[in-house]
Amino acid sequence: MSRIAARTKARAAARLAATQALYQREMEGTPTSALLHEFHHHRLGATIEDAQYAEADVAFFDDLVTGTEARQAEIDTAIAARLASGWTLARLDRPMKAILRCGTYELLARADVPVAAVISEYVDVAHAFYEKRESGFVNGLLDAIAKEVRR
């Protein structure tokens, strides 16, 4: 595998893990430092229930988790502004909120990652949790945010 392909795979694994960590934080109220420790030592690249988790870009994972948490109010405002009339962030289920928050953080803070890559990657993350309709929702919402924040 080329270095670029390996980096791409490691970043994809980091995005999925960051989404899972943010979901866990919202579900259990786990402090970020404890989440990072748990993922570093027991999840990233580990074998869990006969499933081998891919090696993740740990620094990228850490940035996604801590950055999303640090900018959550700004991120939530950006997401809420693009929801359909009558919809609120509270109506979205927790996995969807984690996906959208993480993707929005990346659009806001990681100008080194192209918009198309961010959107495509979080659509892939959505496929891990949802059917086609929800992944289309992720695509549309992140695209709308990207048009605003990455002019």
The beta strands (E) that lie in 1-149 are given as: 47-48, 51-52
What pLDDT score does 9 carry? Answer: 86
DSSP reduced 3-state for 40: helix
What predicted TM-score, i.e. pTM, was given to this entire model? 0.91
Q: What are the extents of the domains in the chain? A: 3-149
Residues 6+ apart with CB under 8 A from 100: 79, 92, 122, 138, 141, 142
Query: What's the angle, vertex CA 13, arms to CA 11 and CA 14, rounded to 5?
Result: 60
* Chain segment 53-108, per-residue pLDDT in tens: 668 899 999 999 999 999 999 999 999 999 988 888 999 999 999 999 999 999 99
Assess whether pLDDT exceeds 60 at residue 135: yes
Q: Which amino acid is at 81?
A: A
What is the homologous superfamily of the domain 3-149 according to CATH? NusB-like (1.10.940.10)
